[in-house]
Amino acid sequence: MKMPFYFLPVAFLACTTLSCVRTENKAESYEKKIDKLMAEMTLEEKIGQMSQIDPGMAGSPERLKEMVREGRCGSLLNFFGMEEVNEIQRIAMEESRMHIPLLIGRDVIHGYKTVFPIPLGMAATWNPDLVKKAFRISAVEASSMGIRWTFAPMIDITWDPRWGRIAEGCGEDPFLASALAAAMVEGIQGDSLNDPTALAACAKHFAGYGFAEAGRDYNTTYITEPVMRNVVLKPFKAAVDAGAQTIMTAFNDLNGVPATANEFLLKKVLNDEWNFQGMVVSDWGSVPEMINHGYCRDEKDAAAKAIRAGVDMEMATNTYSANIEQLLEEGVVTESMINDAVRDILRLKFRLGLFDNPYVRPEAQKVILDEAHLEHARQVAAQSAVLLKNSGQVLPLPAGIKSIAVIGPLADAPRDQLGTWCFDGDPSRSVTPLEALKNELGPGRVHYAAGLEYSRDKRTEGFAAALKAANRVEVIVFFAGEEWILSGEGQSRGEISLPGAQTELIRRLAATGKPLVMVVMAGRPLAIEEETRLADAVLYAWHGGTMAGPAIADLLTGKVSPSGKLPVTFVKGAGQIPFYYYRKNTGRPASDESWTPIDSIPVENPQSSLGYRSFHLDYGYTPLFPFGYGLSYTQFEYTNLELSGASIDRNGSLTVRATVENTGDRDAHEVVQLYVRDRVGSITRPVKELKGFQRILLKKGEKAVVEFTLGAADLAFFNGKETLVEPGEFDVWIGPDSSQGLHGEFIVQ
Ligand code: NOJ
């Protein structure tokens, strides 16, 4: 019998000796300062630090100031405006007894004033550096208004596009999401936390929230420990390793225990295993909601369970402030639990430099909507769009094109293109595709008729004008999609088709016989099988943010070649959910030969003719588009897969390389992907797992050798008992997406 060997994570020290010493000195002096403060603080003031207040809770602005003066509040959310922040900080610093600054938090999820594509769109760039810079820009803009803590990154893996919050995350894959989580944290926090432009990041929602049953937001989750550890927790670990200062607990109950009091998550994983040194905050109301979950008798019980599990700060409800004193008297919570929580909060305030300077300089705001920020937003939006189909090379539009019809409810929808979660985005600053195409091609060549006023519009009165415009032009560009309000928190859908009468309008436009380009601007991967069949080209552009219009125009006109790749599997219909590429093979996997489509089954055919394989009679077993998929205006050819050896041992690593050649006639980016399969495991293993990716630029005719290093440690997984690398045979692929690639194999000894 072959013996498994264990994976020992190796920590790489990312600091020079000198800077480590400095950091240690700083940390020591913070601890001393915290000791001093804590020695003087009353219990009420400690409880105040543990309370995050929404202005609405206070009742009036005056009462809020009073609470700050009395030390009854450690943090504010949804409180903004430079003058307002400076004044409330002044009260905290000068008029409260302990002179402790406030932590001002806000949801800056995909941009502040300069709005970037929704995070799912940013994930489609497969470009951590670009994403890091987007988050840096968001932090620079937000901090200029006094915000020093953001509730991002949202890194909930999900397999369910019905779930509205799929828009806010990085998709289905733990490897891609981990790379992006680290980039986002680094962007948010910058090089040094006490830089005035640094925000504390908050990895959320810890954990399992994306597995809400039926994709219905806030719903129950049941997740096995292998799925937790091999999938859900991976991006959180990456965020913690990247230095994320805070973690937010999730709304859901996980295997029967709400995340906000879940000791497996908060004590075992976060504290004991990861040694997390930051602060934990509840989600909005998630402490008292444990009563609804049926896990707590009343608010006192809820406060006790959250504190005992390790939730340092309560967001937007007051079960802590109302109950801690009594809980202490009764011995249900201990003084050291309270002290630990307060220490975590004060430490963060020291690290952010708030004690030295909690104020905002008016000149800081000059950065808002800076030209360079907008230019970056345009680049991110361009790299996030995924070309799903391009029959007959209908795209890019020919240089000399004389007329196009711009149709559809998302062509000129400034608020919708900003997507969910942009409290601060300004639709009047959005540049829509209609505006950008008019700028690019000249207004005379663009014939606009919306056809439908908004995405759910079912009225067909606008069809005639749309068809008239379509009949006069060379190419029709239809802007399909969803309004922003159809995705995001609380915005789950049971069906994930194009809403309203959009499909009907697409049918009529296709019937004109004119080349039809469909651009989809949505907050989730929609089921667009029929529409994809009807259109000649499909560009999936998500909700692309402030600069979505110019980015889409760049792509349609060929200034930029599409290079986005799907961060989620696209299903043919909601009935296929959950569908993710790293599924298990099953005992009866389907293959081309085994699928019998429902309409081809002869009447009264014997049951045995159907194949007894794992497929749906109506969908088959393949998705509409696989994870990692995305076309370009050029072609890339993959050849010469080489492995540095046939086997590796427990300390070993393998080099896997392939040649990628741009055989088309334009320069373009390609995202080269590396997948593996562990053929046999002590628990069944996925059919493929992403283990590496590189975004490369190849000029036309150019080729490059793309090389990946695969360490044995990268193959470790949790099997229900332990995390280990199991010896045996592995497949490896380098390719353009999860469904294809050059294949090789190796052995782990
Ligand atoms: C609830 C959401 O779940 C969370 O993501 C957000 O950060 C908080 N509300 C604060 O707005």
Q: Distance (Å, rounded) from C-alpha 713 to C-alpha 744?
A: 19
| DSSP structure string for 238-255 | HHHHTT--EEEE-SSEET
Spacing, Cα 184 to ligand 1 middle (Å): 17
Say which residue the tokens 């999730």 belong to: 250
9: pLDDT confidence band, cut at 50, 70 and 90?
very low
pLDDT in tens, 204-218: 999 999 999 999 999
Overall residue count recorded for the chain in this entry: 749
Residue nearest ligand 1's atom 10 by CA: 284
List residues bridging with 279 in a β-sheet: 246
Question: What is the value of pTM for the model shown?
Answer: 0.96
Please identify, by atom number, the ligand 1 atom nearest to the C-alpha of residue 109: 7
Q: Say if residue 17's pLDDT is above 60.
A: no
Determine the Cα–Cα distance for residues 364 and 578; give it in Å rounded to an integer: 46
> Per DSSP, which regions of 63-157 are E strands?
75-77, 103-106, 149-150
Strand 668-678 and strand 5-6: the pairing is unpaired
Gap between the Cα atoms of 579 and 582, Å rounded: 9
What does the alpha-carbon distance between residue 288 and residue 420 come to, in Å, rounded to a whole number?
A: 26
| Closest by CA position to 496, among listed 548, 388, 570, 411 | 570
- Going by alpha carbons, the residue nearest to atom 11 of ligand 1 is 107
173 has catalytic annotation:
no
CA of 558 to the centre of ligand 1 (A): 39
DSSP 295: S
Locate 238 and state its tokens: 């990456």
DSSP for residue 736: E
* Separation CA 515–CA 55 (nearest Å): 54
Give the residues across from 114 on adjacent strands: none
The residue whose CB lies within 8 Å of the most ligand 1 atoms, and thus the one to mutate among 79, 150, 284, is: 284
Residue 152 alpha carbon to ligand 1 centre in Å: 9
DSSP helix/strand/coil, 208: coil
- Rounded Cα distance between 112 and 361, Å, is 18
Identify the pLDDT of residue 24: 57
Ligand 1 centroid, distance to 202 Cα (angstroms): 11
Ligand 1, atom 8: closest residue by C-alpha: 284
CA distance 723 to 720: 8
Query: 3-state DSSP call for residue 250?
Result: coil
Provide the edge-to-edge strand list for the sheet that holds 723-725.
5-6, 723-725, 717-718
Query: Averaged over 238-245, what is the pLDDT?
Result: 98
Written as six digits, the tokens of 374 are: 């907008």
- Ligand 1 centroid–CA 80 distance in Å is 16
95 three-state secondary structure:
helix
Q: Cα of 154 to ligand 1 centre, how many Å?
A: 10
- Long-range CB contact pairs, 643-651, < 8 A, 24+: 643/732, 643/744, 643/746, 645/746, 646/746, 646/747, 647/746, 647/747, 647/748, 647/749, 648/712, 648/746, 648/747, 648/748, 648/749, 649/712, 649/748, 649/749, 650/5, 650/712, 650/725, 650/749, 651/712
User: What is the predicted pLDDT for the residue at 23?
Assistant: 58
pLDDT digits (tens, 9 = 90+) for 133-191: 999 999 999 999 999 999 999 999 999 999 999 999 999 999 999 999 999 999 999 99
Q: What is the distance in A from the centroid of ligand 1 to the CA of 284?
A: 6
518 CA distance to ligand 1 middle (Å): 33
Rounded to the nearest angstrom, the distance between the alpha carbon of 422 and the centre of ligand 1 is 12
Res 12 pLDDT > 70 = no
Ligand 1 atom with the shortest distance to the CA of 168? 5
CB atoms under 10 Å from CB of 11, counted, come to 6
Strands 475-481 and 404-407: parallel
pLDDT for residue 346: 98
> What does the pLDDT average to over 111-132?
98
Q: Using CA positions, which residue lies closest to atom 3 of ligand 1?
A: 283
Q: How many helices (H) and strands (E) does the chain have?
A: 21, 27
> Which ligand 1 atom sits nearest the alpha carbon of residue 205?
5
Q: Which of 417-421, 595-599, 662-666 has the lowest mean pLDDT?
A: 595-599
The CA–CA distances, whole Å, from 676 to 719, 739, 741 equal 17, 12, 11
Give the binding-site residues of ligand 1, using a 6 Å CB cut-off: 107, 151, 204, 283-284, 489
Look at the block and give the residue holding tokens 């056809």: 451
* 490 alpha carbon – ligand 1 mean position (Å): 11
The average pLDDT across 210-238 equals 98
Mean pLDDT confidence for 471-482:
98
Q: Which residue has the tokens 């999820």?
A: 109
Tell me the pLDDT tens digit for each residue of 381-410.
Answer: 999 999 999 999 999 999 999 999 999 999
Atom of ligand 1 nearest to the CA of 204: 5
- 303-353 pLDDT tens trace: 999 999 999 999 999 999 999 999 999 999 999 999 999 999 999 999 999
Joined together, the tokens standing for residue 340 give 């630990």
Ligand 1 midpoint to CA 252 (Å):
13
CA nearest ligand 1 atom 9, residue: 284
Q: Which residue is catalytic, options 283, 301, 554, 714?
A: 283
Q: Any idea where the domains of the chain sit in the sequence?
A: 50-103, 104-364, 636-748
Domain 104-364 in this protein, CATH class: alpha beta
Q: Count Cβ atoms below 10 Å from residue 389 Cβ, excluding itself.
A: 18
If you take atom 1 of ligand 1, which residue's CA is the nearest one?
284
Nearest CA among 143, 167, 142 for reference residue 156? 167
Q: Whose CA is nearest to atom 4 of ligand 1?
A: 283
DSSP character string of 513-559? -S-EEEEEE-SS----HHHHHH-SEEEE--S--TTHHHHHHHHHTTS
52 is written with which tokens?
């995050």
pLDDT at 14 over 90: no
Structure tokens at 292: 């609804």
C-alpha 247: how far from chain center: 15
Pocket test for ligand 1, best of 52, 79, 107 (most atoms within 8 A of CB): 107
For ligand 1, mutation pick of 151, 168, 188 (most atoms within 8 Å of CB)? 151
Mutate to test the pocket of ligand 1, among 315, 423, 491, 492 (most ligand atoms within 8 A of CB): 315
The partner residues of 75 in beta bridges, in order of sequence, read 52, 103
Which of 248, 317, 420 gets mutated to test ligand 1 (max ligand atoms within 8 A of its CB)?
Answer: 248
Whole-number pLDDT of residue 162: 98
Segment 546-596, tens digit of pLDDT: 999 999 999 999 999 999 999 999 999 999 999 999 999 999 999 988 888
Q: With the C-alpha atoms ordered 345, 346, 351, 354, is the resulting torsion angle positive or negative?
A: positive
**13: its two tokens:** 């020290």
Provide the pLDDT for residue 715.
97
Q: What are phi and psi of 641, to 5 degrees?
A: -70, 130
Task: Tell me how far apart the alpha carbons of residues 625 and 171 are, in angstroms, rounded to a whole number.
Answer: 14
Q: Which residues pair with 705 in a beta bridge?
A: 659
Distant-in-sequence contacts of 689-695, Cβ < 8 A, 24+ apart: 689/175, 689/582, 690/173, 690/175, 690/176, 690/582, 690/627, 690/628, 690/738, 691/175, 691/715, 692/175, 693/126, 693/176, 693/179, 695/125, 695/126, 695/127, 695/563, 695/669, 695/670, 695/671
For ligand 1, atom 7: residue with the closest CA: 151
Of 139, 173, 182, nearest to 12 by C-alpha is: 182
Indicate if the alpha-carbon torsion angle 44, 45, 49, 53 is positive or negative.
positive
Ligand 1: centre distance to CA 151 (Å): 7
Decide if pLDDT at 19 tops 60. no
Neighbours of 197 (CB within 10 A): 19
What fold characterizes domain 636-748?
Immunoglobulin-like (2.60.40)
